[in-house]
Amino acid sequence: MGDTYNSYESVEEYLASVKLEANSLPNIGISSERHTESKKLDHPEYTIMLELNKSYDITLESGKWEEYFSLLRKLVRSKYSRQYISVPSSLVKYIKENHHDWKGSVINPPPPLETICAGGIHFDAVQEGVEVIKSELEKGTYSIHIFEWAFYLLTIIDDLHALSEDVASNLQKIKRYCLKGDITPQKILIASIISKYFHQK
């Protein structure tokens, strides 16, 4: 699976693929300008603004990836986050219909964020996905798609659920894995996100 990594030779290329997926999110606005907290993110005036994706210098050195991730996470949560959903989420349906389980999913490309989030964010499914990613990395499974899935799950998981013992432990183990062995842009990105946003030092 190591050959898959060669398709992304830099953080810029890796995040460029993520940004293309982010563009599929409907009715969500992204702006580099500061807005007051009183404004609602789902207000009609907020439409998809490609200026952000075109102009942001997404590199680890510039630190712009932090602002991009933060905005994407906030916008996804404002549009899709629900604590309780009465029907199977799109994420659960996608896993079952395409790869049967998480183990088969994380070694394949993730669907667009819209597919993952539609119908509400299913915490149990996200928690299971984080667990499988941790287990596959510990077993030595290496695929660029594991890190793409990790990026998406980190985008949609909320702070409260991230504090649960199982999730916090798995995030810590994923970060530790990313800081061992050959250091790749994908490992650095995921480790940085976990450290910055989920307080796993």
In tens digits, the chain (201 residues) has pLDDT values of 433 444 555 566 656 665 555 554 433 333 333 333 334 334 332 333 333 344 444 555 556 777 778 888 887 777 776 544 555 677 888 888 887 889 889 989 888 877 778 777 778 888 999 999 999 999 988 888 899 899 889 988 877 777 888 999 999 999 999 998 888 888 888 998 999 888 766
pLDDT recorded at residue 42: 40
Please enumerate in sequence order all residues whose Cβ is within 8 A of that of 87, keeping only pairs 6 or more positions apart, or say none. Answer: 119
- Asked whether the beta carbons of 99 and 132 are under 8 A apart, the reply is no
- Asked whether the beta carbons of 141 and 103 are under 8 A apart, the reply is no
- Print the domain residue range for 36: 2-198
Please enumerate in sequence order all residues whose Cβ is within 8 A of that of 168, keeping only pairs 6 or more positions apart, or say none. Answer: 162, 198, 200
Please enumerate in sequence order all residues whose Cβ is within 8 A of that of 182, keeping only pairs 6 or more positions apart, or say none. Answer: none
pLDDT recorded at residue 200: 62
pLDDT recorded at residue 12: 61
Whole-number Å distance between alpha carbons of 59 and 69: 12
- Asked whether the beta carbons of 26 and 80 are under 8 A apart, the reply is no
pLDDT recorded at residue 131: 94
pLDDT recorded at residue 173: 94
pLDDT recorded at residue 111: 84
pTM higher than 0.85 for the full model?
A: no
- Asked whether the beta carbons of 41 and 78 are under 8 A apart, the reply is yes
Please enumerate in sequence order all residues whose Cβ is within 8 A of that of 76, keeping only pairs 6 or more positions apart, or say none. Answer: 25, 28, 113, 117, 155, 156
Whole-number Å distance between alpha carbons of 64 and 70: 10
Write out the H or E segment, with its range, that includes residue 28: none
Domain tally, the chain: 1
